[in-house]
């Protein structure tokens, strides 16, 4: 593989690696922000004032309908993925099992290995091609991207229909291809895309506008629905509706509101219910609603879930062990290489699995209470099966369940140890691949394996149920990697279907987070940092009271007059060296009187809303909110708008379109205060004024995201101009 890497790529790899090691000290300008504060201009206020009490009630009902639809579609997608994966993986394992059984006696097991590797690589190839060539943003779990979206950062193409299609296809391929990945993380992304699509009542990719839900075509409303979609995704993936709501809240912390929370909750409910219902039909027991999520941890019997006080310190130790968070993987940029790497990993996964099954002689009697669907006899005596095969010859979900529930004595400690190591390295390698894949299940599986091992070793000293320790280990590992606490606790409790383990799981997750944060950030945060996204945490760094708005703000600021020359507007917007997205509108002596966005100016230019032309032959219709909504969210670039020399001399009256009451702060405001205002209201631009109300600067997301806490106090990142 090394021969094919160009020098540029080597440089790029080293560059990325360097970034990874020393963390990122730059913020990119490519990422635009979302406007989570409504632009309350005259058009908007007029529309709101026209609306009756009944009108608002209808809107509210429409919001509930949309949330219901989001939940339904997300559940349906989850169901589709589940069935497709189960069918494809089933065929694969069936074929390989037959082949192995055939060749165990004949003695040509290498043929079985090749069959397995080829099948794996073939599945993975399709998935990797789709991701690498069609929509690279569909790679990975998509959770960091959704976190960014809810935080207010616009990641290009992340909520498009095309992304969804590729994501679903990709995840089916990679899971069926036997990679060390899960299908849960991608569900969260899928739910978010569904939400963004449904709530807008149109698909820009398909060029289809249903002319419904036009009121919701703005960032604020879209974000609310996307958080409902993400929650629905979690809910479908883990059968955890409350966990889903908490996930959305943990990530989109700044906009909690009771009505919204209930809608999110409703979407989650509908999602898990839909999945449950359709799976019950698929499994031939329509109406029996007992498989609420994609992953099912199986029933933990109430009698067996007791734990004792002396076990608590053990759980905490396990939590501290859970912070293995290595994501060293090569970053390859050329699509065909990416596909080949994915196929290679798929083949290696098959080979490693095969070798481990082959060389293990850990035979277990074939009992009544086994959950395996494909017990493999291999070289074991009749009536026995190879227990190593159980771990590998299975979808990871089933393996996790086996580790939780199989009776004590099912697994040999050595088998488990080797499995943990092998699977860990496979998972680490796999994480960097260009395939749609989640990290939840591999983490759970690794954790369950070493947890069970821990339990088995412990049972030499005291009595211990290894299944319980498998669960704790899984929680510790997952917590150490994703660093969520509240939502993850609820997700795991909902997935186990039993509240009794709630307290130990909490303890374990907290320990994993505290210990983990001491060493390195969580996987998603690393991912976000690697992409140098201007992500705002919930609070300003504690030692930042030294800084005031004056030091933080960008200045000088390009301002427009209330009535501005078209030529100047076009020139400012076309200036590629300083790409601004918001412009204060000022009266004489730079007194602030409004704020207008680039997107609004673009629409105005496109419709040629010029003062001189109003009286000309074109019977100029009054611009309405609808025109802005139609252009949302893909406003054309300024280059695509032709403005003639004549028109350049015209004037534009911005009064009606600007937000006349932008939030402002005085120059002396401390950074934490600016931060609080910015974050609590989901702002994109905050105007800094002097005590005469004159514009002196503008605070944007990048100005705030620059400051963060380093090892020895406040650090400032550089703003990269890439």
61 near its own copies, rule: CB under 8 A: no
From residue 460, how far is each of 300, 453, 457, 467 by CA, in Å? Answer: 23, 11, 6, 15
In the complex, least distance from residue 614 CB atom to its own copies, rounded to whole angstroms: 25
Q: Does residue number 383 form part of the binding site for its own copies (CB under 8 A)?
A: no
Candidate list 24, 79, 416, 490; residue touching its own copies; CB under 8 A: 490
Per-residue mark of binding to its own copies, 275-294 (x: CB under 8 A): --x--------xxxxx-x--
Out of 18, 91, 262, 379, the residue judged to bind its own copies by CB under 8 A: 262
**Quick check: 672 and 539 in contact, CB under 8 A?**
yes
d(CA 69, CA 50) in angstroms, rounded, equals 28
Q: Does 589 help bind its own copies (rule: CB under 8 A)?
A: no
> Contacting its own copies (CB under 8 A), which of 578, 615, 691, 722?
691
Toward its own copies, which CB reaches closer, 296 or 402? 296
Min. distance of Cβ 368 from its own copies in angstroms?
18
Is 414 among the residues that bind its own copies (CB under 8 A)? Answer: no
Selected from 26, 204, 351, 500, the binder of its own copies by CB under 8 A is 500
Calculated CA dihedral for residues 557, 563, 566, 567, nearest 10 degrees: -60
Q: Please list every residue from 502 through 531 that binds its own copies, using CB under 8 A.
A: 502-503, 506-507, 510
Task: Tell me if 476 contacts its own copies by CB under 8 A.
Answer: no
CA torsion 252→254→259→262, rounded to 10°?
30
DSSP string, 588-654: GGGBEEEEEEHHHHHHHHHTT--TGGGGSSS-PPPP-HHHHHHH-S-PPPGGGS---HHHHTSEEE-
Q: Which of residues 28-47 bind its own copies (CB under 8 A)?
A: 40, 45
Q: Which of 664, 702, 708, 719 binds its own copies (CB under 8 A)?
A: 664
Q: What angle do CA 402, 408, 412 make, to 5 degrees?
A: 80
Residue pair 301/369 in contact by the 8 Å Cβ criterion = no
Is 612 an interacting residue with respect to its own copies (CB under 8 A)?
no
Determine which residue in the list 677, 706, 715, 719 makes contact with its own copies, applying CB under 8 A: 677
Q: Which is nearer to its own copies, 355 or 587 (CB)?
A: 587
173 to 82, 120, 329, 360: CA distances (angstroms): 12, 9, 21, 29
Interface residues for its own copies in 347-376 (CB under 8 A)?
Answer: none
Q: SS3 string of 530-591?
A: HCCCCCCCCCCCCCHHHCEHHHHCECCCCCEECEEEHHHHHHHHHCCCCCCCEEEEECHHHE
Closest CA to 705 of 667, 679, 687, 681: 679
**Is residue 206 a contact residue for its own copies (CB under 8 A)?**
no
Q: Which two tokens stand for residue 93?
A: 């394992």
Report the residue from 56, 94, 210, 379 that binds its own copies according to the rule CB under 8 A. Answer: 56
Nearer to its own copies among residue 76 and residue 344 (C-beta): 76
The nearer residue to its own copies, 116 or 266, going by C-beta atoms, is 266
Closest contact distance (angstroms) between CB of 49 and its own copies is 5
Residue 91 or 256: the one with the smaller Cβ distance to its own copies is: 256
Rank residues 326 and 499 by Cβ distance to its own copies and give the closer one.
499
Residue number with CB closer to its own copies (4 or 692): 692
**Contact criterion met (CB below 8 Å) for 349 and 118:** no
Cα–Cα distance list, 392 to 162, 389, 402, 426 (Å): 33, 5, 11, 12
Q: Is 114 exposed, middle or buried (0-12, 13-18, 19+ CB in 10 A)?
A: middle
Distances (CA, A) of 553 to 238, 284, 685, 686, 698: 43, 62, 10, 9, 5
Nearest distance from residue 212's CB to its own copies, in Å? 20
Among 116, 273, 419, 524, binds its own copies (CB under 8 A): 273
User: Of 112-120, 482-490, 553-561, 650-658, which segment contacts its own copies by CB under 8 A?
Assistant: 482-490
Member of 98, 336, 421, 587 binding its own copies (CB under 8 A): 587
Query: Shortest Cβ distance from residue 543 to its own copies (Å)?
Result: 5
Tell me which of 550, 676, 706, 708 binds its own copies, using CB under 8 A. Answer: 676
Q: Which stretch binds its own copies (CB under 8 A): 205-213, 336-344, 643-651, 705-713?
A: 705-713
Binding residues for its own copies restricted to 301-320, rule: CB under 8 A: 301-302, 306-310
Q: Which residue has the tokens 């990871």?
A: 396
**Interaction of residue 575 with its own copies, rule CB under 8 A:** no
Which CB, 116 or 297, lies closer to its own copies? 297
Which residues, in sequence order, are bridge partners of residue 697?
688
Alpha carbons 438 and 238: distance in angstroms, whole number: 13
């Amino acid at each position: 593989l090394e021969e094919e890497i160009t020098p540029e790529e080597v440089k790029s790899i080293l560059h990325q690696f360097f970034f990874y090691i020393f963390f990122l000290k730059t913020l990119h300008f490519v990422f635009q922000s979302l406007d989570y504060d409504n632009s309350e201009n005259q058009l908007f206020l007029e529309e709101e004032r026209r609306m009756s009490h009944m009108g608002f009630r209808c809107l509210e009902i429409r919001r509930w309908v949309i949330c219901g639809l989001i939940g339904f579609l997300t559940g349906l997608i989850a169901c589709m993925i589940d069935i497709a994966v189960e069918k494809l993986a089933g065929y694969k394992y069936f074929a390989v099992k037959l082949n192995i059984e055939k060749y165990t006696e004949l003695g040509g097991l290498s043929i079985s290995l090749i069959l397995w590797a080829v099948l794996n690589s073939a599945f993975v190839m399709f998935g990797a091609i789709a991701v690498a060539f069609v929509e690279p943003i569909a790679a990975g779990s998509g959770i960091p991207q959704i976190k960014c979206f809810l935080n207010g950062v616009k990641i290009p193409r992340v909520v498009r229909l095309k992304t969804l299609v590729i994501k679903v296809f990709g995840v089916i391929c990679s899971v069926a291809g036997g990679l060390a990945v899960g299908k849960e993380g991608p569900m969260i992304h899928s739910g978010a895309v569904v939400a963004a699509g449904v709530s807008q009542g149109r698909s820009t990719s398909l060029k289809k506008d249903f002319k419904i839900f036009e009121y919701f075509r703005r960032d604020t409303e879209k974000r609310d629905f996307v958080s409902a979609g993400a929650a629905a995704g979690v809910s479908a993936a883990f059968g955890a509706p409350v966990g889903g709501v908490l996930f959305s809240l943990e990530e989109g912390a700044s906009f909690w509101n009771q009505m919204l929370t209930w809608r999110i909750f409703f979407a989650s409910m509908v999602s898990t219910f839909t999945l449950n219902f359709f799976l019950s039909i698929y499994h031939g027991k329509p109406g029996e609603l007992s498989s609420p999520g994609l992953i099912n941890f199986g029933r933990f019997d109430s009698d067996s879930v007791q734990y004792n006080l002396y076990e608590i310190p053990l759980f905490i130790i396990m939590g501290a062990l859970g912070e293995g968070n290595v994501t060293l993987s090569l970053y390859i940029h050329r699509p065909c290489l990416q596909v080949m790497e994915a196929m290679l990993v798929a083949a290696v996964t098959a080979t490693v699995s095969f070798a481990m099954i082959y060389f293990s002689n850990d035979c277990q009697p074939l009992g009544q209470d086994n959950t395996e669907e494909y017990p493999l006899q291999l070289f074991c005596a009749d009536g026995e099966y190879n227990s190593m095969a159980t771990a590998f010859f299975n979808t990871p979900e089933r393996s996790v369940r086996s580790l939780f529930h199989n009776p004590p004595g099912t697994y040999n400690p050595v088998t488990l140890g080797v499995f943990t190591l092998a699977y860990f390295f496979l998972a680490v390698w796999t994480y960097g691949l260009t395939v749609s894949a989640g990290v939840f299940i591999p983490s759970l599986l690794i954790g369950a394996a070493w947890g069970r091992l821990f339990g088995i070793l412990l049972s030499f000293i005291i009595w211990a149920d290894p299944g319980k320790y498998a669960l704790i280990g899984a929680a510790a590992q997952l917590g150490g990697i994703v660093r969520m606490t509240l939502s993850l606790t609820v997700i795991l409790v909902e997935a186990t279907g039993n509240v009794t383990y709630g307290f130990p799981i909490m303890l374990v997750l907290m320990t994993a987070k505290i210990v983990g944060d001491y060493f390195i950030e969580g996987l998603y945060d690393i991912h976000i940092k690697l992409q140098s996204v201007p992500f705002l945490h919930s609070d300003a760094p504690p030692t930042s009271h030294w800084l005031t708005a004056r030091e933080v703000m960008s200045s000088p600021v390009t301002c427009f007059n209330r009535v501005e020359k078209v030529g100047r507007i076009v020139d400012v917007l076309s200036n590629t060296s300083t790409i601004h997205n918001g412009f204060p509108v000022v009266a004489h002596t730079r007194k602030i009187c409004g704020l207008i966005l680039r997107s609004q100016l673009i629409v105005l230019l496109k419709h040629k809303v010029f003062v001189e032309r109003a009286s000309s032959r074109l019977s100029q219709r009054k611009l309405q909110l609808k025109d802005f909504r139609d252009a949302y969210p893909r406003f054309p670039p300024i280059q695509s708008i032709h403005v003639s020399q004549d028109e350049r001399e015209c004037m534009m009256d911005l009064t009606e379109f600007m937000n006349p009451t932008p939030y402002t702060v005085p120059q002396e405001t401390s950074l934490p205060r600016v931060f609080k205002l910015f974050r609590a209201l989901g702002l994109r631009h905050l105007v800094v004024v002097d005590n005469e109300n004159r514009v002196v600067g503008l605070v944007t997301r990048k100005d705030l995201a620059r400051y963060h806490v380093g090892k020895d106090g406040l650090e400032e990142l550089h703003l990269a101009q890439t």
